[in-house]
């Protein structure tokens, strides 16, 4: 049962970027605020994880991925602040990839963030399965 729930969460996390774009397109500024809050929340969780984890119990790959995810979450959060302006919101609502630099950076950072988050979660599920939990 836990494996099935884990798979659902991993798929939802992997779908994070398109869902954020949908939220912005559908709800405008409120959707953009939710996206910014989501990236800030992920950043906060990553920072707390770094501060409270036992580095000896994790592999170097997991640690590197966590630090990389934290950096990307910071970039995604900062770039999401541009959505507060009318110009930023209009750029975010533009379909396709012919957008300004800040919006392009935001989209790439969000895609990378959710990809890294899914990879870390998948590693966690494998560790849990090996431990027999």
Mean pLDDT over 129-133 rounds to 64
What's the whole-number average pLDDT of the chain? Answer: 84
Residues 122 and 10 sit within 8 Å (Cβ to Cβ): yes
- Give yes or no for residue 79 having a pLDDT over 70: yes
Burial class, 48, CB count within 10 angstroms (exposed 0-12 / middle 13-18 / buried 19+): exposed
The three-class DSSP label of residue 59 is coil
pLDDT for position 101: 87
- What is the Cα–Cα distance from 18 to 107, expressed in whole angstroms? 10
Scanning 15-100, the segments in alpha helix (DSSP H) are 16-27, 29-52, 60-80, 86-93
- What is the Cα–Cα distance from 106 to 72, expressed in whole angstroms? 10
pLDDT tens digits, one per residue of 27-59: 988 988 999 999 999 999 999 999 998 766 677
Mean pLDDT over 99-111 rounds to 90
User: pLDDT > 90: what percent of the chain?
Assistant: 35
- What is the Cα–Cα distance from 116 to 118, expressed in whole angstroms? 5
């Amino acid at each position: 049962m836990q494996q099935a729930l884990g798979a659902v969460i991993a798929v939802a996390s992997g779908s994070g970027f398109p869902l954020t774009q949908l939220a912005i397109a559908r709800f405008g500024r409120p959707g953009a605020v939710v996206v910014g809050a989501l990236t800030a929340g992920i950043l906060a969780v990553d920072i707390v994880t770094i501060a409270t984890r036992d580095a000896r119990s994790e592999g170097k790959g997991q640690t590197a991925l966590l630090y990389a995810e934290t950096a990307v979450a910071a970039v995604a959060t900062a770039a999401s602040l541009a959505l507060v302006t009318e110009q930023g919101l209009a750029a975010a609502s533009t379909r396709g990839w012919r957008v300004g630099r800040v919006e392009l950076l935001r989209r790439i950072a969000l895609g990378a963030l959710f990809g890294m988050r899914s990879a870390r979660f998948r590693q966690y599920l494998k560790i849990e399965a090996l431990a027999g939990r």
